[in-house]
Amino acid sequence: YQQNPKTYAIVKQLLAEGNAGELQKYFGSRMEFGTAGLRAAMGAGISHMNDLTIIQTTQGFCKYLEKNFSDLKKRGVVIGFDARADLSSGGSSKRFARLAANTFISQGVPVYLFSDIIPTPFVPYTVTHLKLCAGIMVTASHNPKQDNGYKVYWENGAQIISPHDKGIAQAIEESQEPWPQAWDDKLIDSSLMLHDPYAMVNKEYFKDIQKQCFYRNINKETNLKFVHTSVHGVGHKFVQLAFKAFDLSPPFAVPEQKDPDPDFPTVKYPNPEEGKGVLTLSFALAEKDGARIILANDPDADRLAVAEKQESGEWKVFSGNELGALLGWWIFSCWKNNSRDTRAIKDIYMLSSTVSSKILRAIALKEGFHFEETLTGFKWMGNRAKQLMDQGKAVLFAFEEAIGYMCCPAVLDKDGVSAAVITAEMASFLATRNLSLSQQLKAVYDEYGFHITKASYFICHDPKVIQQLFDNLRNFDGKNMYPKSCGRFKVSGIRDLTTGYDSSQPDQKAILPTSKSSQMITFTFANGGVATMRTSGTEPKIKYYSELCAPPGNSDVEQLKKELDELVNALEKHFFQPEKNKLQRKTE
């Protein structure tokens, strides 16, 4: 079993020390394969991402695909990777991608393996574009540097949903023994079944996103300057190309962060969602070069954060909901004013997830298109978008508050590259009207009603405490009695997507799919507030999302903010009970 000398040495050392505790951690339980695929630290043992666990996972996935597609050996799969690597265990995204490719090729399945790092959205794009059976992206997105992941797309170009995760997990369990040449990834280099889609996708993707470019003349002329950071990830080259495709001058790239570096040396967490800490170098470069707008991708370039310098000289970092409001407004306006799409407005759709702002619902109601909400995560929005598109509908836009945006129907997943360049075109257009992004955001709220949101989380490493906290909410005012109020705020409705209960439905059954394995309860309040509490699928967190929606014409924003702050304080105090449950607050 000495296939990987580095992981072998780690385990041998632990055996020599007689370190049962660590060995238990490494070999006690296998990584779970869920709808998000795998995500774990790179290292030795079946609980980590390494050569062996990648081989086993891919063997299972290959078997599952063979069962589902009679033409798998004709159509094949696509595999992409980011720039992550771990010196101590010898694991890297590229190595894992090659081992996965080798597994498929050994079974006679054609593999489209990107020869270099790519943004995550290129994998779903390629699945759709080449009509492949499936896609794999080896990435841990914006997780800490020790992590890696294995993300899976189905033939419809969207991330997998249940029951595929269970089917694949079952097949992995049955495929533990590595096949004869599993470790010998050099075999693929001479195989006729190995294809490199890199050049083709770099041409076709940038052609396809140009369908969302409506103001080329303004783009050519604009003197607005942009700073872009790829936060030591893959985004730099591709955002430069996207700007070129839209005839925009290239953005200034943050030099310390533009090249891929698996150590992410300039940031504590490589996650632009964490706000200003990740953008420190971007602010400095923007000040130096006189740029007013910063575009920041996460390391696998499927998310986008945006910041804008205000009149006061302060920088405003837009929340995912605020940018969702702006992009929703912009993409609808572009459709209405410029699109050659002859479809009626009743065939136009926008989507967002249930924990995201309902601003799109307000715009849809006023403008006459359809809005739908889905469960949390782009796997749901991507699959729903595909269903609607197959019925001849146009899905213009989908977003979620975790800074994920789907602006272009060629990718049925979040895409930080197209979102960055579309935001740049929107900002350039607004500049010709002497409007900033912040001013336009206010105009959107003035027209469709203010939507103020606040979200945060508590860290809890004890699953028992989490279970107890949610059980307490379900038996708050006696057995099977949800809370009637939260402090001074009266509860007017409850939807529990763990149990499937919804007080607003005639039969009290929720419409959205329910999942016993994760916790999620949404409270509606008499004052128009909504708050959702849920557990995270990838981190030891209990998250909450709250929103206060006012009808158009209610312009007392400060009063609304104060009301929402008080609602959130009551939620923390009465529903989370952080002291009693020993929860750790999010630290800024």
Whether residues 176 and 113 share a domain: the answer is: yes
Whether 439 and 463 share a structural domain: no
**pLDDT at res. 556:** 84
* Whether residues 175 and 253 fall in one domain: no
* Whether residue 45 sits in one domain with residue 22: yes
Residue 550 sits in a domain of what CATH number?
Answer: 3.30.310.50
Q: Establish whether 88 is a catalytic residue.
A: no
Is 259 inside any structural domain? yes
Q: What is the DSSP letter of 54?
A: H
CA–CA distances in Å: residue 438 to residues 112, 288, 398, 533 = 43, 22, 21, 29
Q: Where a domain ends, among 414, 448, 482?
A: 448
Helix (H) or strand (E) holding 350, with range, is: strand 348-353
| Residues 76 and 164 occupy one common structural domain | yes
Q: Are 258 and 274 in contact (CB under 8 A)?
A: no
Q: Are 112 and 195 in contact (CB under 8 A)?
A: yes
- Residue 311 in domain: yes
What pLDDT score was predicted for residue 554? 74
Q: Clarify whether residues 10 and 78 are in a common domain.
A: yes
Distance CA 388, CA 19 (A): 54
d(CA 528, CA 423): 30
Per-residue pLDDT of the chain (588 residues; tens, 9 = 90+): 568 999 999 999 999 999 999 999 999 999 999 888 999 999 999 999 999 999 999 999 999 999 999 999 999 999 999 999 999 999 999 999 999 999 999 999 999 999 999 999 999 999 999 999 999 999 999 999 999 999 999 999 999 999 999 999 999 999 999 999 999 999 999 999 999 999 999 999 999 999 999 999 999 999 999 999 999 999 999 999 999 999 999 999 999 999 999 999 999 999 999 878 899 999 999 999 999 999 999 999 999 999 999 999 999 999 999 999 999 999 999 999 986 777 889 999 999 999 999 999 999 999 999 999 999 999 999 999 999 999 999 999 999 999 999 999 999 999 999 999 999 999 999 999 999 999 999 999 999 999 999 999 999 999 999 999 999 999 998 898 999 999 999 999 999 999 999 999 999 999 998 988 899 999 999 998 999 999 987 788 999 999 999 888 877 888 999 999 999 999 999 999 999 999 999 874
- Which amino acid, residue 100? A
| Residue 200 falls inside a structural domain | no
Pick from 163, 195, 227: which residue ends a domain? 195
CA 257 to chain centre: 21
Neighbours of 71 (CB within 10 A): 8
**Which of 47, 93, 141, 352 is labelled catalytic?**
141
Q: Examine residue 542 and state whether it is found in any structural domain, yes or no.
A: yes
Residues 6+ away with beta carbon under 8 Å from 446: 552, 555
Separation in Å, CA 328 to CA 57, 203, 331, 443: 38, 27, 5, 13
CATH number for the domain spanning 14: value is 3.40.120.10
Would residue 554 count as lying in a domain? yes
Total tally of structural domains belonging to the chain: 4
Structure tokens at 361: 């619902």
Q: Phi, psi at residue 80, to the nearest 5°?
A: -125, 170
Peptide bond into 255 cis (omega under 30): no
Return the sign of the alpha-carbon dihedral for residues 432, 435, 440, 441.
positive
C-beta separation of 543 from 455 below 8 A:
yes
**Are residues 22 and 158 both part of a single domain?**
yes
In this prediction the pTM is: 0.95
Q: Based on the fold, state whether residues 441 and 459 are members of the same structural domain.
A: no
- Which burial class, exposed, middle or buried, applies to 322 when counting CB atoms under 10 A from its CB (0-12, 13-18, 19+)? buried
Question: Considering the domain boundaries, does residue 335 fall inside one?
Answer: yes
Q: Tell me which residue range forms the domain holding 525.
A: 450-585
Asked if 476 contacts 482 with a C-beta cutoff of 8 angstroms, the reply is: yes
pLDDT of residue 1: 52
Structural domain includes residue 398: yes
Task: Write the DSSP assignment of 303-362 as a string of letters.
Answer: BEEEEEE-TTS-EEEPPHHHHHHHHHHHHHHHHHHH------GGGEEEEEETTS-THHHH
Together in a domain, 300 and 372:
no
- Model pLDDT, residue 118: 98
- CA 566 to CA 450: how far, in whole Å? 17
**pLDDT score of 483:** 97
Chain centre to alpha carbon of residue 545: 16
- Answer yes or no: do 470 and 578 share one domain: yes
Q: Six-digit token pair at 523?
A: 């409270």
167 vs 160: CA distance, rounded Å: 11
**Contact (CB, 8 A) for 383 and 375:** no
Same structural domain for residues 257 and 245?
yes
- Of 164, 195, 226, which residue sits at a domain end? 195
Q: Are residues 443 and 454 in the same domain?
A: no
How far apart are the C-alpha atoms of 232 and 82, rounded to whole Å?
A: 11
Q: How many Å apart are CA 143 and CA 169, to the nearest integer?
A: 23
Residue 564 backbone phi and psi in degrees, to 5 = -65, -40
pLDDT score at 586: 84
